[in-house]
Every structure is written in structure tokens, then in C-alpha cells.
């Protein structure tokens, strides 16, 4: 049986609050004045289909916490794109003494139940990377996500104009409809594309950010418009870009039209270097994860962040959330070396393997 997000949120909130009634007495060591419970942070990430979470966010966050607070413990959970599972993980973390939650929600709306439960126990919540909506979130750390969409849309439009394209069909493959960031990426992209003179012939939201579903969506577009009429693909991230490119290669689309992406995943960077994918957006995850760790340790110690570290207030439907927004960067074949390689995000040894060695030499990565 399927439930709406609102029903899931209400049901989960009820379960969490009932459980909370049995937890009015905090576990020994979890209250003010010190103890093991006062040194525990929960990091709750949403899924594994986007490679960055396990390969970058988690280890960067954990290392920074350990460097700042050697005695601190991190409770880590990944929800595998399951909102109900994430709610269970949050409750388990609170039961096990977490004093700060760093939460990247599977579902930006239903995660409000987690925030409500944490606030009942006076546990601060940091909304990480994705904004939790309609909830009393304490802080938000992410990138300017509407700007991400604008950068993607502008890069695509500029490339088409540079290639002399004046007509044809664009396909838009957006992110998950339950991810508030995906809505911002879409809005940013439309703000550029809609006034560009190019026509969006088909547009899809992609449940779970699934590359397989993106591939199916692209197959539908090829069937509908034919191989020759599709002049560009807006793909919201590298996973959906990979799915779209796989569909076009299987259909014999030659040459491939420019395709956007996001996250600078290894596979995405390799496609950019080889020319299969036109661009990606590099969001420097290291400062994002480390800033979240710094803020979590600050809150764990009962302190407030320095006012200068907060550079925005982002409305989430309930409040203007004090925020730290970082700057995203466009990466093309010409800038791989000066961005992701220069930052150590990926090394030439990781990128330039197998079939990509020749393309790497052309891009002067080797």
C-alpha cells in the first residue's frame, strides 16, 4: 500500500511522539553536565545511488569531527532512499544519546516529523545539503541550489548557441520530486532556458534520482522525437546524465548532444573528459561536510556559531533558517584540471583508467 508524504509524516510523527513520551527521563549521561551522551552526533544521509555520500560526505564529516573533538562519537546511518527507514534511524540515534542531528532528508517534507521529535528533546537539527521544509530547523548548510540550476541551464544554452543551433528539442530530466533541492535546480534551469528561444519538448521528474529511470525517460523521448531532433539534454545530476547518455548510445544517437550534470561524480568526470557529457557542477563537498562538522561540534558544546559564518536566511515554509550557502562551480573538459583535480577531489590516477587514458592525455591530465 502506498501512502502520501503527508500521511507518512503524520504517522511517523505520531510514532515518534508516543515513543518520546516514554523517554521524558533522559538516559544516564545524556543530560547537561557531561557524560557520553553529550558527545554524540548523528549523521543521517539519504541514499547511496548518488556516489558522493559514501565516498566523500561521510568520511569528510567523521574525520573533521574527530579532529575537533577526539572524544566525540558519530552515529552514522544511510536511509537507502527510504523515508520511513530514515525516521527509524533518527529515533534510534536519539535513543542512543545523539545530542545533535545532522540530517540530509530522503523526503524534504516528511522529515519535518524527525525535526519535531528532536525539538521535543531540545536536540538541535542541522539540515544538510537538502532543506527540510515546514520544520523548525536550526541551521541549513548547502549550496545556492537555484544557482546550480541556472549554471546548468546557462551552460547548455551557451553550448547550443556556440554550436550554431537555432531550433530543435530539449529534454529535461529533473531530480526526485521529494527532494526540495531538485525543485530549486529545476526552477533555476527554467529561469534560463524558458527565455532562451529553445523549446523543451519533454520534461520528467525522476523518482529516487534513479539512473535507470532516467534512461527509460530518455528512451521515451527518443521514441517520441527521433534521434535527430533532440539537440540538448538538461540532466539534473551525473546519475541521471549517465542514464540519458546510455539511452542515446543504445539508440545510436551520433553525435551525442550536450548533456548537463551535477556532483562531479567520478563517472561523470570521466564522461566529461571523454566528451560524452558536456558539463557537471562541482559542489565542493569537503568545505560543506567540514562546515557541518564544525557547526555540529559547536552546538554539541552548547555554543552558538560565529555570526560571520552565516551568510543567508533561507525560508522553508515555517521560518527563515539561518544558513551557510557555498558556491557551486561549472566543470567542462577544459576546467577539470583546474577544479576537481586541483582540489584533490579526484586524482588523474582515479580518472584516467582504461578507455579514458587517451582522453585524459588530450585534456592534459596526464
Q: What is the biggest distance separating any 2 CA atoms in the chain, rounded to whole angstroms?
A: 69
Residue among 154, 148, 128, 153 at smallest CA distance from 140: 128
- Whether 28 has a pLDDT exceeding 80, the answer reads no
Kindly report, residue by residue over 134-152, the tens digit of the pLDDT: 999 999 999 999 999 999 9
Distances (CA, A) of 120 to 125, 129, 136, 185, 292: 12, 23, 11, 33, 22
Say what the pLDDT of residue 164 is.
97
9 vs 258, residue with greater confidence: 258
pLDDT range class, residue 37, cuts 50, 70, 90? low
C-beta neighbour count of 347 within 10 angstroms? 11
**Least confident stretch, 18-32, 88-102, 219-233:** 18-32
Say what the pLDDT of residue 21 is.
41
State the DSSP H helix or E strand holding residue 19, giving kind and residue range, or none if neither: helix 5-21
Residues 230/247, Cβ–Cβ less than 8 Å: no
Percent of the chain with pLDDT over 70: 90
Say what the pLDDT of residue 230 is.
96
Say what the pLDDT of residue 308 is.
85
Kindly report, residue by residue over 306-328, the tens digit of the pLDDT: 888 899 999 999 999 999 999 99
Taking the C-alpha atoms of residue 108 and residue 12, their distance in angstroms, rounded to an integer, is 14
Mapped onto helix, strand or coil, the DSSP state of residue 141 is: strand
Q: Where are the domains of the chain?
A: 5-143+285-326, 145-283+329-362
What is the dotted CATH code of the domain comprising 5-143+285-326? 3.40.50.2300
C-beta neighbour count of 142 within 10 angstroms? 25
- Whether 4 has a pLDDT exceeding 50, the answer reads no
Taking the C-alpha atoms of residue 210 and residue 130, their distance in angstroms, rounded to an integer, is 17
- Whether 179 has a pLDDT exceeding 50, the answer reads yes
Taking the C-alpha atoms of residue 121 and residue 103, their distance in angstroms, rounded to an integer, is 16
Residue among 181, 203, 177, 179 at smallest CA distance from 190: 203
C-alpha cell recorded at residue 292: 557541518
Cβ neighbors of 157 (< 8 A, separation 6 or more) are 192, 193, 196, 198
C-alpha cell recorded at residue 281: 557542477
Kindly report, residue by residue over 48-87, the tens digit of the pLDDT: 888 889 999 999 999 999 999 999 999 999 999 999 999 9
Mapped onto helix, strand or coil, the DSSP state of residue 10 is: helix
Taking the C-alpha atoms of residue 51 and residue 67, their distance in angstroms, rounded to an integer, is 24
pTM over 0.75: yes
Mapped onto helix, strand or coil, the DSSP state of residue 346 is: coil
102 CB-side CA count, 13 A: 32
What is the per-residue burial (b if ≥16 Cβ within 10 Å, else e) of 222-253? beebeeeebbbbbbbbbbbbbbbbbbbeeeeb
Mean pLDDT, rounded, of the chain: 90
- Whether 106 has a pLDDT exceeding 70, the answer reads yes
122: left (phi over 0), alpha (psi -120 to 50) or beta: left
Q: Please tell me whether the peptide bond between 52 and the residue prior to it is cis, using omega within 30 degrees of 0.
A: no
C-alpha cell recorded at residue 147: 544557482
- Whether 113 has a pLDDT exceeding 90, the answer reads yes
Angle between helices 58-68 and 285-300 (to 10 degrees): 40
- Whether 43 has a pLDDT exceeding 90, the answer reads yes
Say what the pLDDT of residue 296 is.
98
Percent of the chain with pLDDT over 90: 84
Domains 5-143+285-326 and 145-283+329-362 share a fold: yes
Kindly report, residue by residue over 356-365, the tens digit of the pLDDT: 999 999 999 9
Taking the C-alpha atoms of residue 334 and residue 256, their distance in angstroms, rounded to an integer, is 18
pLDDT range class, residue 169, cuts 50, 70, 90? very high
What is the dotted CATH code of the domain comprising 145-283+329-362? 3.40.50.2300
237 vs 31, residue with greater confidence: 237
Mean pLDDT of the region 11-37: 39
- Whether 353 has a pLDDT exceeding 50, the answer reads yes
C-beta neighbour count of 18 within 10 angstroms? 9
Mean pLDDT of the region 118-144: 97
Residues 134/108, Cβ–Cβ less than 8 Å: no
Cβ neighbors of 283 (< 8 A, separation 6 or more) are 143, 148, 262, 263, 264, 326, 328, 329
Say what the pLDDT of residue 109 is.
95
To the nearest 10°, report the CA torsion of 362, 246, 81, 67: -10
Kindly report, residue by residue over 63-72, the tens digit of the pLDDT: 999 999 999 9
Amino acid at each position: 500500500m502506498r501512502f502520501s508524504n503527508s500521511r507518512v509524516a503524520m504517522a511517523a510523527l505520531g510514532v515518534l511522539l508516543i515513543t518520546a513520551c516514554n523517554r521524558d527521563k533522559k538516559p544516564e549521561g545524556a543530560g547537561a553536565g557531561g557524560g557520553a551522551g553529550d558527545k554524540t552526533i548523528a549523521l543521517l544521509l539519504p541514499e547511496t545511488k548518488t556516489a558522493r555520500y559514501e565516498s566523500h560526505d561521510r568520511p569528510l564529516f567523521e574525520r573533521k569531527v574527530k579532529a575537533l573533538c577526539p572524544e566525540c562519537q558519530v552515529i552514522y546511518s544511510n536511509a537507502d532512499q527510504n523515508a520511513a527507514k530514515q525516521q527509524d534511524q533518527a529515533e534510534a540515534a536519539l535513543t542512543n544519546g545523539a545530542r545533535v542531528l545532522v540530517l540530509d532528508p530522503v523526503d524534504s517534507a516528511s522529515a519535518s516529523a524527525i525535526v519535531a521529535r528532536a525539538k521535543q528533546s531540545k536536540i538541535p537539527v542541522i539540515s544538510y545539503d537538502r532543506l527540510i521544509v515546514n520544520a523548525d530547523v536550526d541551521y541549513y548548510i548547502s549550496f545556492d541550489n537555484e544557482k546550480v540550476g541556472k549554471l546548468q541551464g546557462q551552460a547548455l544554452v551557451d553550448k547550443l548557441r556556440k554550436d550554431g543551433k537555432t531550433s530543435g528539442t530539449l529534454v529535461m530530466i529533473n531530480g526526485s520530486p521529494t527532494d526540495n533541492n531538485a525543485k530549486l535546480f529545476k526552477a533555476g534551469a527554467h529561469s534560463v532556458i524558458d527565455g532562451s528561444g529553445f523549446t523543451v519538448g519533454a520534461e520528467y521528474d525522476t523518482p529516487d534520482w534513479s539512473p535507470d529511470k532516467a534512461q527509460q525517460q530518455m528512451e521515451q523521448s527518443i521514441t517520441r522525437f527521433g534521434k535527430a531532433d533532440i539537440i540538448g539534454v538538461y540532466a539534473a545530476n551525473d546519475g541521471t546524465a549517465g542514464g540519458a547518455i546510455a539511452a542515446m548510445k543504445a539508440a545510436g544517437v551520433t553525435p551525442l548532444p550536450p548533456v548537463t550534470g551535477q556532483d562531479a561524480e567520478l563517472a561523470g568526470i570521466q564522461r566529461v573528459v571523454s566528451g560524452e557529457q558536456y558539463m557537471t557542477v562541482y559542489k565542493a563537498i569537503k568545505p560543506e561536510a567540514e562546515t557541518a562538522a564544525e557547526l555540529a561540534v559547536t552546538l554539541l558544546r552548547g555554543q552558538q556559531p560565529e555570526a560571520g559564518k552565516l551568510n543567508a536566511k533561507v525560508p522553508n515554509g515555517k521560518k527563515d533558517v539561518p544558513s551557510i550557502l557555498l558556491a557551486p562551480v561549472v566543470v567542462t573538459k577544459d576546467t577539470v584540471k583546474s577544479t576537481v583535480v586541483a582540489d584533490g577531489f579526484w586524482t588523474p590516477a582515479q580518472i584516467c583508467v582504461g578507455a579514458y587514458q587517451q582522453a585524459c592525455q588530450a585534456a592534459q591530465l596526464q
